[in-house]
Amino acid sequence: MSTVSAQAIFDAHTARFGAADAFDTPDFTRDDPVYRAAKEACLRLGFIDADAECLAQAWEARSARLGFDAGAWPEEPVDFGLAPWPRSLAFAPCPRALGLYAVLPDAEWVGRMARAGVPTVQLRFKSDDTRAVEREVRAAIEAVAGTPALLFINDHWQAAIEAGAYGVHLGQEDIGVANLSAIRAAGLRLGLSTHGYAEMRRADALSPSYIAMGAVFPTTLKRMATAPQGTARLRAYARLLRAYPLVAIGGIDFERLPAVLQSGVGSVAVVRALVAAASPEAEVARFRLALQGKPGQETGPLGHLA
């Protein structure tokens, strides 16, 4: 058992996570000395307040179980208050290895990438026009027919249920608005976006089919509320959420693929790497070859691990 101090935790983990340029004075919600040291250290390591709070509580829980060790990092679900598996109200399972996951702007792209051999595709059609959305969702479902591609619909969960899509992908801000019970009752898979520990805890409480984590690297495609997470955090997140099929997203291209795969995620989601490629079909082939036989890419297993 080492001496409890924020400095000891910071020193043990700064090489991995880096140090914040600036950080707020900790806002403590508990008195426990491990919690307090960990909260300060996690803020100094660059975690946002909500994530530092979540981590500090996990540090406290881990130390109560095993004693304080500044060199350890909390990664056991029980320390974060995550319920054990199996769970009765989980969403329908999807493959643990969703593999290359193309996030695409319309049904034409969905069909093109499905025919090129992308195993998982998403229709990310941004429109408030209900008729246009319904049309595009139906067209995307028709476009993947006859291919093995699994189709997730971003945002438009009602249209996805009506048209019988494979699954729905929702962001954190959609969680409180969408009718999750209706999605689950219809048997659709649910993927949720997360951007750190606090959001992972919130997502886990809903037992989705998969959890997406990002943005791993900077992306120009979406304005992100948090800084890019980087591969060190991605590895820590993937350890904690190992019960789930996991997807990494944000700024991933062919060169960054090996570093992302080292985290153990079963899937890499990309937009620009495919839609902005000189030959999207050739890029799909290159990605698929690089993914073949890599840890986490074993085909077959479905769903959550107990």
Binding residues for Mg ion (CB under 5 A): 155, 171
Cβ atoms of 160 and 175 within 8 Å: the answer is: no
Choosing from 93, 105, 117, 171, the residue that interacts with ligand LCLJCK34 (CB under 6 A) is: 171
Choosing from 150, 243, 249, 265, the residue that interacts with ligand TZP (CB under 6 A) is: 249
Of the pair 74, 214, the CB lying nearest ligand TZP is at: 214
Residues 216-275 that bind ligand LCLJCK34 (CB under 6 A): 222, 247, 249, 269
Cβ atoms of 238 and 22 within 8 Å: the answer is: no
Of the pair 35, 287, the CB lying nearest ligand TZP is at: 287
Among ligand LCLJCK34, Mg ion, ligand TZP, none, the one that 270 touches (CB under a kind-dependent 5 to 8 A) is ligand TZP
Of the pair 180, 248, the CB lying nearest ligand TZP is at: 248
Identity of the amino acid at 34: V
271 binds ligand TZP, rule: CB under 6 A: yes
Window of 28-36, 39-47, 229-237, 250-258 that interacts with ligand TZP by CB under 6 A: 250-258
Give the nearest distance from C-beta 186 to ligand LCLJCK34 in angstroms. 19
124 binds ligand LCLJCK34, rule: CB under 6 A: yes
Choosing from 57, 63, 147, 154, the residue that interacts with ligand LCLJCK34 (CB under 6 A) is: 154
Choosing from 155, 199, 204, 283, the residue that interacts with ligand LCLJCK34 (CB under 6 A) is: 155
Of the pair 144, 247, the CB lying nearest ligand LCLJCK34 is at: 247
Q: How many Å apart are CA 28 and CA 39, to the nearest integer?
A: 8
Q: Which residues of 201-227 are buried (b: 16+ CB within 10 A; e: fewer)?
A: bebbebbbbbbbbbbbbebebeeeeee
Q: Which of 274, 236, 278, 275 is nearest to 257 (CA)?
A: 274
Window of 70-78, 107-115, 248-256, 283-291 that interacts with ligand TZP by CB under 6 A: 248-256
Among Mg ion, ligand LCLJCK34, ligand TZP, none, the one that 102 touches (CB under a kind-dependent 5 to 8 A) is none
193 binds ligand LCLJCK34, rule: CB under 6 A: yes
196 binds ligand TZP, rule: CB under 6 A: no
Of the pair 83, 276, the CB lying nearest ligand LCLJCK34 is at: 276
Q: What backbone torsions phi and psi does residue 6 show, to the nearest 5 degrees? A: -65, -40
221 binds ligand TZP, rule: CB under 6 A: yes
